[in-house]
Amino acid sequence: MKRVGKQTIIFENKPKIIANSAIVGPKEFAGPLKDFFDYRIIDDKWNEDSFEKAERKMLEFAICTAIRRSKKKLKNIDMLIAGDLLNQIITSSYAARKIDTMYLGIYNACSTFTEALAIGSVLIDGEYLNNVACATGSHFSTAERQYRYPLELGNQRTPASQRTVTGAGCSILSLEGEGPKITMATMGKVIDYGIKDANNMGAAMAPAAMNTLLAHFEDTSTSPKDYDLILTGDLGNLGSELLKIIMNNHGVDISKNHNDCGKLIYSDIQRTVQGGSGSGCSASVFNSYIIKKLNSGEYNKILFAATGALLSTVSTQQGDSIPAIAHALVIER
């Protein structure tokens, strides 16, 4: 069996990430990762008549650019696996209309990107498919109106809140070709520590990240020092601090090599409170900054665990707590 422990899958054929593409909005482009993003949109609506259509266009753009960079023909891309934050994942499914291939629409909130990579890797490792495109995206203005309040409402942001990233990213997985290899995937369980504050996603997701990371270390008999980087998805500043503390309580110290996409994408002066979030956050940071560092050899082996808060406005209004999930991947050069 290609599995170790309870939750970790080993990819013997080592699917490769042969091409990437990321595109971000203006605020993200003004942040510290400016030099790593290849594409940005100058106007948040990107000449479309709604923010939803702009989000869709960004995802389409990320997918098409990644396919072009992989030097594969569209007919050789066997499948698109995509997800986003909007109700009924309309961004992904509408974007998939333009991509003439099999399509899996998936949703695990902000952890959707690693979920897509994990599913894609399984399909490739099992030699069912040759080339798979994995993509996710999100948009500040569409998420804000769906999950929170109208943009023009004059309310104050709470001190634990995060900003949904305007951005999209796509990775092309393939058996042949050059690129970082996905060697393992640890799929997460849904974890709920009873956090009810929908403005404190970092706190809701940190236990899920902990659960998946601990399961991974146990399954594979590795420890944090075996990795150059342990990258979480969008815990933000507060969630990252919480994760370090609760990991320490379990005797695992990740403080030396942990980082977080939500922390990386904005600088403190951008007034995003705790950092970035959203399914576009890990997708855009991974497909630009992280992949460039992997290709340049700065990182050789990373553990990438995107986290997702699986709430909806209905569950929040009914006073339910926030379940969360994290899926981790080992990516090696």
Partner 1 sequence: MINAASKEVKEKYDKLVNEMTPKSPHLKNIIMAFIFGGLVCVLGQAIYDTSSTLFPNLSSTELGSVQSIVLIFITALLTGLGIFDKIGNIAGAGTMIPITGFANAVSSTAIEFKKEGIIFGLSSKMYFVAGPVIVNGITASVIVGIIYYLIDLIF
Partner 2 sequence: MIETLILYLKVFAVGGAICIIGQILIDFTKLTSGKILVIFLMAGIVLESFGLFQPLKDFAMAGVTVPITGFGSVLAKGAIEAVKDKGLLGALLGGTTAAAGGIAAATAFAYLFAMLFNSKTK
- 301 burial type by CB count under 10 A (0-12 exposed, 13-18 middle, 19+ buried): middle
Instruction: Tell me which residue has tokens 């709604």.
Output: 50
Q: How far is CA 14 from the centre of its chain?
A: 20
* 47 is a contact residue toward partner 2 (CB under 8 A): no
Q: Which does 44 bind (CB under 5 to 8 A by kind): partner 1, partner 2, none?
A: partner 2
* 25 is a contact residue toward partner 2 (CB under 8 A): yes
The binding track of 49-78 with respect to partner 1, each residue x by CB under 8 A or -, is xx-x--------------------------
User: Judged by CB under 8 A, which stretch of 104-112, 116-124, 200-208, 280-288 contacts partner 1?
Assistant: 200-208
* 42 is a contact residue toward partner 2 (CB under 8 A): no
- CB closer to partner 2 out of 44 and 218: 44
Give the HSE-up count for residue 148: Cα atoms under 13 Å, Cβ half-sphere. Answer: 23
Q: Which of 87, 151, 178, 225 binds partner 2 (CB under 8 A)?
A: 151
* 12 is a contact residue toward partner 1 (CB under 8 A): no
Q: Which of 44, 192, 228, 253 binds partner 2 (CB under 8 A)?
A: 44
* 197 is a contact residue toward partner 2 (CB under 8 A): yes
Whole-angstrom Cα distance, residue 279 to residue 277? Answer: 7
User: Judged by CB under 8 A, which stretch of 123-131, 149-157, 259-267, 293-301 contacts partner 1?
Assistant: 149-157
| DSSP strand pairing (16-24 vs 102-105) | unpaired
The candidate with the shortest Cα–Cα distance to 135, out of 56, 27, 46, 205, is 56
Whole-angstrom Cα distance, residue 114 to residue 158? Answer: 28
Instruction: Tell me which residue has tokens 């997985």.
Output: 173
Residue 107 CB neighbour total at 10 angstroms: 18
101 φ, ψ to 5°? -160, 175
* Shortest separation between residue 252's beta carbon and partner 1, angstroms: 16
Q: Which of 35, 42, 156, 251 binds partner 2 (CB under 8 A)?
A: 156
* 147 is a contact residue toward partner 1 (CB under 8 A): no
* 241 is a contact residue toward partner 1 (CB under 8 A): yes
- CB closer to partner 1 out of 13 and 158: 158
The candidate with the shortest Cα–Cα distance to 167, out of 94, 74, 276, is 276
Please check whether residue 167 is in contact with residue 280, taking contact to mean a CB–CB distance below 8 angstroms: yes
* Shortest separation between residue 290's beta carbon and partner 1, angstroms: 26
* 91 is a contact residue toward partner 2 (CB under 8 A): no
Three-state DSSP class for residue 199:
coil
Q: How big is the chain, counted in residues?
A: 333
- CB closer to partner 1 out of 66 and 273: 273
* 51 is a contact residue toward partner 2 (CB under 8 A): yes
Q: Which of 42, 152, 297, 318 binds partner 2 (CB under 8 A)?
A: 152
DSSP string covering 143-169 = HHHHHS--TT---PPPTT--EE--EEE
Residues in contact with partner 2 by the rule CB under 8 A: 25, 27, 44, 51, 140-141, 150-152, 155-156, 166, 197
Residues in contact with partner 1 by the rule CB under 8 A: 49-50, 52, 145, 149-160, 189-195, 200, 203, 207, 238, 241-242, 245-246
